[in-house]
Chain A
Amino acid sequence: MHRVDLKDGADLDGFRRALRGLVALGVEPGEVVWSVGATPSLFGDDATLPADAPPVSLPRPVGALIENVVCHRDPERYALLHRLVWRVLRGERDMLDHHADPLVHRLALLDKAVRRDLHKMHAFLRFHEVRDPDGTERYVAWFEPDHFIVEATAPFFVERFESLVWTILTPVGSLHWDRRSLTVGPAALRPEGLDRDDRFAEGWQRYYESTFNPARVNPTAMRAEMPRKYWANLPEAAAIPAMIRSAPARVQAMIEAEAAAPRRRNPDKAVAAMARQEPVTLAELNRIILAADPLVPGATQAVPGEGPEGAAIAIVGEQPGDQEDLEGRPFVGPAGQLLTRALEEAGIERSAAYLTNAVKHFKFVARGKRRLHQSPTAGEVKHYRWWLMKELSFVRPRLVVTLGATAALALTGRSVVGPAGTRADGVRRLGKASSPSTRPTCCACRPARGRKQAYRDFVADLRRAREGGGRGGLTASTGMIEYSMRSSHDRDRTS
């Protein structure tokens, strides 16, 4: 016969050590007496067990079950676990799937009870604020769990309240967190006067009473989830009896009350005014855009469009680049300069066109000091679509020139793919900015000669745009959309 003495509470380490020894010696479950928390036997741990037996390898679910079950109060828990391990090591490796097996069933019940207890402690523990003389906020809680779970709950509270200083006291142990490290302490006594002077505790009780609907009173359902034993430590629970008692009368009063005529004055004007909420000028819209948060992460500021309302041609790029992001104006970087040149060559004055981007914020990845452009995703483009459409509805251009696939997607809601199989997604993943064709056309990947050609094509496209034509003969990456109010949705035509 072997006798194993384990510490009070959840002695996972002790159990593990003993188990290794027992397995190494091949001791059958029937030959072990597990004793818990008794005065340690005269000789300490069973001297016949090897102290340095190797770890036992168990399927992961079995390990997880052991960790939970050792927390249970049941004095038989270690013996049951030993029986489980014994059988698992004798070949029943997926024994836990055998849910109808009496041992598995019994352990599952213990496991469930511990998990429930953990869950209830996460749920029903209440912190009280205690101000230290030096003004630091500290939080203290008192809780009475059913099982030895205090240490097992620590990760939850540390994770959730990592930035606070707190102490949890229970009759089976305590925890203290100082924002850096956790200290596990001994059992504690219920502290006095915890909720003194805490207005939030009072506020919480008022909230609890107000959120209750007397027309649905159902104390059985409440008690099933929040049994009475927890009430003593829940400040709000003090109100429960009165809430239940007064419920029927409150409901009766509601039902009997005659519907009263509204006392308030006629709010027709306010109701009518409510409909006028959309921005009515471009400036107003831009204010909204500037105040909003980027829907793609990272940008310094939003970059609104630029140019006269009523411009005949609107040019829509993908998104602002590095320089645009810093300056807050569209098309001021190297690519923008290229566009300006192309516009000039095509006979369009830059200041006469309306320039904007489909996405209003710069998206990038940081590589050292450099910020590398990242194309917005299709979903991100759609986030911005409403603004773009609204913007164009103020500008009312005759023609919208889209630079690259992103802009086309933004305008049409569809992705447009170039004929050569190149996805025509414009601007910045292109080669060196000094090379002429890197701008609006699509062809980073083309050889230098191709780039020149692409630039020439682009200028030709712009020229055609100026002449008011759009249909036919455009290159793949420059889209033109005849703009009309009616077509401001998915019905647009791209070339």
Chain B
Amino acid sequence: MDDALLDKLEILADAAKYDASCASSGAKRRTGGPDGIGSTTGAGICHAYTPDGRCVSLLKILLTNYCLFDCAYCINRRSSNVRRARFSVDEVVRLTLGFYKRNCIEGLFLSSGIIRSPDHTMEQLMLVARTLRRDHGFAGYIHLKTIPEASPWLIEQAGLWADRLSINLELASDRSLKEFAPEKDGTAIKAVMGQVGERITEAKEEKRRFSPAGQSTQMIVGADASTDLSVLETSDTLYRRYGLRRVYYSAFSPIPEASSALPAKPPPLQRENRLYQADWLLRYYGFTVEEIAAGGEGGMLDLGIDPKLAWALKNRERFPVDVNSADREMLLRVPGLGARAVDKIVEARRHTTLRLEDVARLSSGLKRARAFLIAADHHPGGLTDRADLRQRLVAPPKQLSLF
């Protein structure tokens, strides 16, 4: 690796870091064998964490940060004055293999600014994946960003080699998209999601490989006026209609070379965090978008407490819940109890009548849960309905408190 390549790496990693998706999960178990290199484990591995608390799992880079588009929220838009660079297909392959062999990464996350044409760009991305897989027997993880403006056949080829495809929606509403990303077209993006979704389902049924870890997308929050409600409604549609695996939320972050069209303000990190929690409730806890939104005010989530607690505080008549008899659905709604803890409770109570100390062994969120739970030796009494319950439960704010 020479100095020039190091410089490019720096530029093109810097340019890619605003994409929140880094997961290397969801791929089927696979190994490269004696002639190839690498493996996928299913759950994915974070090989490092940067001081922003984010996981480094894939080599996340752009093929190039030259771009013909002019999306206001993006550091690589054509009107920005950032330093530009461009990798060759071969350079990306070399970097990926070099870092992989040193056990620094699970694989590659490759995106790109749009150069020459969407088709040309998409083809280069596809060629990187193809070279890794076909010429080097690379069995690690590959996440390719799809260029929605590219021809369908290219996207179909990309799916042959990638573990995951993603297309960023970036902004929840078509109107914002038109305003901030003039060359992009919300309808076209969704059409491609539909196409990819269909191919993934068919391939699964026919037991073929096509983007086996599904597709994902990202939405930027805080750059436009979209409410949390409208963001979550969009996510809900994406999950249901296009079978997306994940929607990532990326708090709009001040960027060097910011466009004057956008607010230069510190990122609403807590908002992003609350959206992830809400997304979780949507997918694994049986909540609807309306229920989640009703926990906040005016379509915005409560930034001070997590959305499950917010919902519970507004629906106190449904509590307390008996840990020894309530059904799983209702236990999932108890603040402080995660899905894993609930499953353990359901299993454990077949053997014994649970007391509070038993619950404490099963869940780390008991402090919060006790106001909403009845156990063999515990009843919250009037606690559930106390006006100051919220104050009592809110701990000093902690980043990424999981519930």
Interface residues of A (CB under 8 A from B): 97-102, 105, 119, 122-129, 139, 141, 156, 159-164, 179, 199-204, 206-222, 224-226, 234, 236-237, 240, 243-244, 247, 251, 253-255, 257, 259-260, 262-264, 267, 270-271, 273-278, 288, 292-293, 295, 377-380, 382-383, 386-387
How far does the Cβ of B246 sit from chain A's closest Cβ, in whole Å?
19
Which residue on chain A has the smallest CB distance to residue B104? A204
Residue of A nearest to B209 (CB): A297
B84 → A minimal CB distance (Å): 9
Binds A, one of B48-56, B213-221, B232-240, B301-309: B48-56
Complex Cα distance, B352 from A218, in Å, reads 42
Chain A residue at smallest Cβ distance from B255: A254
Give residues 339-364 of B contacting A (CB, 8 Å).
Answer: 344-345, 347-348, 350-352, 354, 358-359, 361-362
A75 CB → nearest B CB, Å: 23
By a CB distance below 8 angstroms, the chain A residues around B102 are 126-129, 139, 200-201, 204
Please measure, in the bound complex, the distance between the C-alpha atom of A115 and the C-alpha atom of B46, giving whole angstroms: 15
Q: Contact check, A293 vs B130: say whether CB atoms are below 8 A apart.
A: yes
Q: Do B68 and A271 touch across chains, with their CB atoms under 8 A apart? A: yes
Supposing A129-B101, A162-B32, A221-B49 touch, asked if A259 and B6 sit within 8 A by C-beta, the answer is no
Interface size class of B (residues with CB under 8 A): 35 or more
The answer to the question of B42 belonging to the interface, with a C-beta cut-off of 8 Å to chain A, is no
Known: A221-B53, A259-B258, A274-B116. A162 touches B31 (CB 8 A): yes
5 pairs of A and B residues whose beta carbons are closest in the complex? A221-B53, A379-B202, A100-B358, A277-B117, A262-B79
Q: Does B387 contact A (CB under 8 A)?
A: no
Distance (whole angstroms) from the CB of A71 to the closest CB of chain B = 19
Task: Determine how close the nearest CB of chain A comes to the CB of B101; give it in whole angstroms.
Answer: 6
| 7 contacting pairs across A/B (C-beta < 8 A) | A100-B348, A160-B38, A206-B6, A211-B56, A254-B256, A277-B119, A295-B156
B149 to nearest A CB, angstroms? 8
Whether B350 pairs with A97 at a CB distance below 8 angstroms is yes
* Shortest CB distance A124–B (Å): 7
A200 touches B103 (CB 8 A): no
Contacts of A217 in B (CB 8 A): 51-52
Pick from A203, A243, A277, A378: contact of B118, CB below 8 A.
A277
Interface: B259 (CB within 8 A): yes
Which residues in A have their C-beta under 8 angstroms from that of B54? Answer: 213, 216
User: Do A260 and B56 touch across chains, with their CB atoms under 8 A apart?
Assistant: no
Q: Nearest chain-B residue to A289 (Cβ)?
A: B153
B51 touches A243 (CB 8 A): yes
Interface: B377 (CB within 8 A): no
Query: Which chain A positions have C-beta within 8 A of B203?
Result: 379
Q: Do B362 and A99 touch (CB < 8 A)?
A: yes
Chain B neighbourhood of A267, CB < 8 A: 68, 78
Interface string of B27-54 (1 = CB under 8 A from A): 0000111111111010001111111111
Q: Are B45 and A123 in contact (CB under 8 A)?
A: yes
- Chain A interface mostly helix, strand, loop or mixed? helix
Inter-chain contacts of B352 with A (CB < 8 A): 98, 100-101
**Across-interface contacts of B114 in A (CB, < 8 A):** 274
Answer whether residue B81 sits at the interface, using C-beta atoms and an 8 A cutoff.
yes
Our pick among A98, A222, A274, A382 for the contact of B51 (Cβ within 8 Å) is: A222
Q: Are A216 and B256 in contact (CB under 8 A)?
A: no
Contacts of A224 in B (CB 8 A): 53
State A403–B102 Cα separation when bound (angstroms): 54
> In whole angstroms, what is the CA distance A128 to B1 when docked?
15
Q: Closest residue to B251 on the A side, CB-wise?
A: A216
- The answer to whether A379 and B208 have CB atoms under 8 Å apart is yes
Q: Cβ of A386 and Cβ of B51 under 8 Å apart?
A: no
Q: In chain B between 344 and 403, which residues have their CB closer than 8 angstroms to a CB of chain A?
A: 344-345, 347-348, 350-352, 354, 358-359, 361-362, 398-400
Whether the Cβ atoms of A161 and B101 lie closer than 8 Å is yes
Q: How far is the CB of B70 from chain A (nearest CB, A)?
A: 8
User: Do B103 and A210 touch (CB < 8 A)?
Assistant: no
Q: Is B153's CB under 8 angstroms from A254's CB?
A: no
A61 to B35, CA, bound (A): 35
Question: Are B104 and A126 touching (Cβ within 8 A)?
Answer: yes
Give the interface centre of A105, A162, A206, A240 by most chain B CB atoms within 10 Å: A162
Choose one: B11, B51, B398; the contact of A244 (CB below 8 Å).
B51
Measured CB to CB, the nearest residue on chain B to A236 is: B48
A376 vs chain B, min Cβ distance (A): 10
